Amino acid sequence: MQMAGQGSHGTPVIPIVTGVLLLHVAALWALQTGLLRRAVEVFVPVALVSEMVEPPQPKVTPQPPPAPESPKSVPRQQQPILPPAPMPLAVPDAPPAPNAPTGVVAPPAPLPPVAAPVAVAAPPAPPAPPRIELPISDAAYLNNPKPAYPRMSMQQGEQGRVVLNVLIGADGNPKKVEIHQSSGFERLDRAAMEAVMRWRFVPGKRGGVPETMPMLVPLNFSMG
């Protein structure tokens, strides 16, 4: 049982109430006498007294947080039975390819020795072609007479120049006579061919050796 005049927490109530009443009486007296400044000073103790009248709040001790519940273990018979993991098959190592590069790098093969350049002899110069000597018909010792001027051609006033193509043998004698360029008169051409067929020639030579060669022989028929 609690004693009269005490609060629930053991605080004396009667002295506090008496002090409050006295403070209120003093405040009324101050207001009536016009002492406003004293009223402000009295108000502060009244507030303090009100705080003293109010019972202090009980201190609440914080409770520790509850420990997390441990998960219930699943009964052994309820756990799912998993199939065993497949074992990896052993794969035999494949033999290395015949041309596959290995980790060891072989040193490069030595280069073959460089042969010294061989001086190539220049090919021999081709032999000079043999010297060619053309036939000759006007040598002094040949005594080749001029062709006879046809009488009828002289009467007709025929004149002109005949060029004959004569094939001269290795012995200097004419083998064949042809007209290369005509004089324009048949009698003059025929007289020139008959005269040359009787001539003698110095045969042509190739490298000093007589050889059959052709030759152009010009003949002029003029009455001047």
Does 64 map to a domain? no
Does 160 map to a domain? yes
SS3 224: coil
Low-confidence ranges of the chain (pLDDT < 70): 1-13, 15, 30-107, 115-116
- How far is the C-alpha of 7 from the C-alpha of 3, rounded, in Å? 9
What's the confidence (pLDDT) of residue 36?
47
Q: Residue 140: which CATH number?
A: 3.30.2420.10
Does 138 map to a domain? yes
Does 39 map to a domain? yes
What's the confidence (pLDDT) of residue 120?
75
List Cα–Cα distances, 6 to 52, 54, 55, 150, 216, in angstroms. Answer: 14, 13, 11, 199, 180
SS3 71: coil
What's the confidence (pLDDT) of residue 29?
72
What's the confidence (pLDDT) of residue 5?
47
What's the confidence (pLDDT) of residue 90?
56
Domain end call among 53, 68, 84? 53
* DSSP letters spanning 156-220: HT--EEEEEEEEE-TTS-EEEEEEEE--S-HHHHHHHHHHHTT---B-EEETTEEE-EEEEEEEE
Hey, how many other C-beta atoms are within 10 angstroms of the C-beta on 217? 22
Does 121 map to a domain? no
Which one, of 224, 206, 204, lies nearest residue 214 by Cα?
204
Residue type, 87: M
What's the confidence (pLDDT) of residue 1?
41
What's the confidence (pLDDT) of residue 63?
65
Strand partners, 132: 206
Does 184 map to a domain? yes
Stated pTM of the model: 0.44
Number of residues written out for the chain: 224
Does 177 map to a domain? yes
22-63 per-position pLDDT tens digit: 887 777 776 666 554 544 444 444 444 445 545 555 555 666
Does 126 map to a domain? no
- How far is the C-alpha of 166 from the C-alpha of 216, rounded, in Å? 6
- How far is the C-alpha of 136 from the C-alpha of 168, rounded, in Å? 10
Domain residues for the domain of 30 are: 14-53
What's the confidence (pLDDT) of residue 4?
43
The number of folded domains in the chain is 2
